[in-house]
Amino acid sequence: MGDVKDFASPVRPTWCPGCGNFGIWNALKRALAELDLAPHQVMIVGGIGCGSKLPDYTHANGYMSLHGRTVPVASGMRLAHHEMVVICTHGDGDAYAEGLGHMLHCARRNLHIVDIVQDNRIYGLTKGQYSPTTEQGRVTSTSPHGSLELPVNPLALALAAGATFVARSWSGDVPHLTQVIVQAVQHRGYALIDVLQPCVTFNRPYSYDFYRPRVYNVNADPTYDPTDRIAAFRKACEWGERIPIGILYQVEDRPTYEEQEAVLAAGPLVRQPLRTWTEADYEALRQEYM
């Protein structure tokens, strides 16, 4: 087991005191240490948002991309160096609004990326506008008469897109989230972890006190079969007085995109020699287009 301190950065978080992102940050560092990874073996990609600042606060390779473009940037990194553990950390706006198409296509490609979504059901960084997971009827600064839109169901969407690992955890249970992240990193293929994350400043109804009595671990039930996709859909649709967390679905019956890409069979692109083009190569290309 590695040392959590290996992933400590001198940069201190600017998150509000009590923000659920602290639990996610701690769980991620604990998981990486438990997996005995070194910081140089890990790439953490954020987008734009409170949660997307996590790469700044973690000692590992890190990159903050454009809003909603976290997954495509991570996909490029994974294809360039598929021996690197690539982890996305971004919020529900970044992942399920601007980035939703990217998430669905990454799921069906089954690229081995761990996609941690810090789902606080609001746009926190920009001070409380309704987001894709905000409930219908909610009054926010951009929905003064109540949100007219149905919230998206990210777990059901990921299942429909063909994701091979679909999980939910919450930031009030760091040990549980740590274990889900460990299993997501060990999984072969795209892994979505939707993390219920209290935003204590701009989304007070969804507080720690709201989630604590409602969440229950589906994996604590020995009769629950996480390879049953229909059962996972049912759990994904459950929300209210009881909210399921845990690994709702996991199968390893599909190869990853990286395993199927012939060019990567010779090893990570970063270790392959650059092809040097000769005059004859350019001439052949020119003739092809003439």
> At which residue do the structure tokens 């720690």 appear?
208
The answer to whether residues 25 and 54 touch, using CB atoms and an 8 Å cutoff, is yes
14: three-class secondary structure by DSSP: coil
Please report whether residue 21 would count as binding ligand SF4 according to CB under 6 A: yes
Q: One symbol per residue from 162 to 201: x for binding ligand SF4 (CB under 6 A), - otherwise; what is it?
A: -------------------------------------xxx
Distance CA 177, CA 242 (A): 18
The binder of ligand SF4 chosen from 45, 50, 192, 236 (CB under 6 A):
50
Please report whether residue 57 would count as binding ligand SF4 according to CB under 6 A: no
Among 71, 159, 82, CA closest to 116: 71
Please report whether residue 123 would count as binding ligand SF4 according to CB under 6 A: no
User: Cβ 79 to ligand SF4, closest distance in Å?
Assistant: 31
CA atoms within a 13 Å half-sphere pointing along the CA-CB vector of 18: 11
User: Cβ 106 to ligand SF4, closest distance in Å?
Assistant: 24
Taken in order 81, 84, 85, 86, is the CA torsion positive or negative? negative
Distance CA 35, CA 76 (A): 24
Please report whether residue 95 would count as binding ligand SF4 according to CB under 6 A: no
Phi/psi at 87 (nearest 5 deg)? -125, 130
The binder of ligand SF4 chosen from 68, 124, 226, 244 (CB under 6 A):
124
Query: What is the DSSP secondary-structure string of 132-184?
Result: TTSPTT--BTTBTT---SPPP-HHHHHHHHT-SEEEEEETT-HHHHHHHHHHH
Please report whether residue 202 would count as binding ligand SF4 according to CB under 6 A: yes
Of 123 and 165, which CB lies nearer to ligand SF4 in the complex structure? Answer: 123
Of 16 and 64, which CB lies nearer to ligand SF4 in the complex structure? Answer: 16
Of 110 and 118, which CB lies nearer to ligand SF4 in the complex structure? Answer: 118
The binder of ligand SF4 chosen from 61, 75, 120, 133 (CB under 6 A):
120
Of 42 and 199, which CB lies nearer to ligand SF4 in the complex structure? Answer: 199
Of 2 and 128, which CB lies nearer to ligand SF4 in the complex structure? Answer: 128
User: Cβ 67 to ligand SF4, closest distance in Å?
Assistant: 15
Counting residues that bind ligand SF4 (by CB under 6 A) gives: 12
Span from 12-20, 62-70, 218-226, 259-267 in contact with ligand SF4 (CB under 6 A):
12-20
Of 109 and 121, which CB lies nearer to ligand SF4 in the complex structure? Answer: 121
Among 89, 276, 279, CA closest to 191: 89
Distance CA 69, CA 149 (A): 23
* Tokens describing residue 186: 């060990």
List of residues contacting ligand SF4 (CB under 6 A): 15-16, 19, 21, 50, 120, 124-125, 199-202
